[in-house]
Amino acid sequence: MAPPENTSLEILFRRFRLPVALMILVGLLGVVGYMAFLGWSVRDATFMTVITLSTIGYSTVRPLGPGGDAFTTVLIVLGLVSVFALLAATTELIASGELERSVRRTRVKREIGGLYDHFIVCGYGRVGRAATEEFRKQGLPVVIIDTKPDIGAELTDARIPHLIGDATREAILLQAGITRARGLVCAVDAVALNVYITLSARAVREDLTIVARATDLESIDRLYRAGANRVIQPYAVSGRMLAAVSVQPAVIDFLDLVQITPDLRLEELEVRAGSVLAEQSVQDVTGRFRGVSILAVRPKGSAMLRAAPDPDMVLAVGDVLVALGSISALAEIAR
């Protein structure tokens, strides 16, 4: 399990505990020394110590004598050493940027508390990075969970909400806002961890959409049994994409065009009660919203998509559509 990230107070305490302790010891040494060597009262010894260490330059409280002069000289040197130690700690703290990153982490955690309908990505490796980039490109809020502390600094600098911790723990998932999340992506390299994350997430949210990464055929069944809604094999997907580009390059070019065209989107829409889609035929929808094409329909309770649906097919509450169209038209349909 990764160590927790230090808070601002912890960083300040760690950086300044030795310089501050040295200054306190030097101050106590001055008070005790003037009292022991010169027989001064606590009041006079304290005042003399303060004006000596602060280098204000007031006249001495009482005559010092040779012994008092020597002790005061030593006290001044020790005071300068403690001041320089404090300045060095301050300079190192500012130069390292550690305090600034800690303040950013605190702000990011507050942002997580205010997120709704976001996605949680567990694991910030190659697959997790690609998923995060895609979410951010689409303007969707995302929270990263990873165990590697060095990734925390990178994500903090990029202003991406994140938690450094074990995603198999329900407490971490709750901190990531799983009760308010739209979906969760298990992108950890180890299949066993993805299984545990899926089990933990499903225990918290029965209705959460969970997409998990698999490395082989055997792990696919394990992840589905653990509660994943979808299981993806990155290498298998890459292989199919390579074959598709080789055989049907125009189809892939079209999909790329959909991704890069500013006002064109391919989206999944659910028919909700009271929406403009309910009790409407496919033909009625495409006629009412110009430029929108319904490419497929998944009827409520079915696991299969029906491609190129019949124009007379009536849409019911709970059906899921795959539609292609402009952002404004799709947004109007989704209301």
pLDDT digits (tens, 9 = 90+) for 141-153: 999 999 988 887 7
Give the pLDDT confidence of 242-271 residue by residue, as tens digits: 776 677 777 667 666 666 666 677 788 888
Per-residue pLDDT at 6: 55
Sheet holding 306-307, edge to edge: 264-270, 320-326, 293-298, 306-307
Among 39, 66, 96, which residue terminates a domain? Answer: 96
Per-residue pLDDT at 34: 83
Three-class DSSP category at 164: strand
C-alpha to C-alpha distance for 275 and 317, rounded to whole angstroms = 9
Q: Does one domain contain both 62 and 137?
A: no
Per-residue pLDDT at 180: 93
Per-residue pLDDT at 262: 61
Question: Is residue 257 situated within a structural domain?
Answer: no
The band of 139, judged by pLDDT with boundaries at 50, 70 and 90, is confident
Average confidence (pLDDT) over 179-183: 93
Q: Does one domain contain both 135 and 224?
A: yes
Three-class DSSP category at 209: strand
Judged by average pLDDT, the poorest of 14-18, 58-62, 279-283 is: 58-62
Residue 46 has pLDDT above 60, yes or no: yes
Q: Which residue has the higher pLDDT, 243 or 57?
A: 243
β-pairing verdict for 183-186 and 162-164: unpaired
Rounded to 5 degrees, what angle do the CA atoms 270, 276, 278 make? 60
Q: Does one domain contain both 126 and 202?
A: yes
Among 42, 62, 96, which residue terminates a domain? Answer: 96
Q: Does one domain contain both 58 and 153?
A: no
- Percent of the chain scored above 90 by pLDDT? 21
Residues β-bridged to residue 128: none
DSSP H helices in the chain: 8-38, 42-53, 65-96, 98-113, 126-137, 149-157, 170-175, 191-204, 217-226, 234-247, 249-260, 282-288, 327-334
Question: Is residue 251 situated within a structural domain?
Answer: no
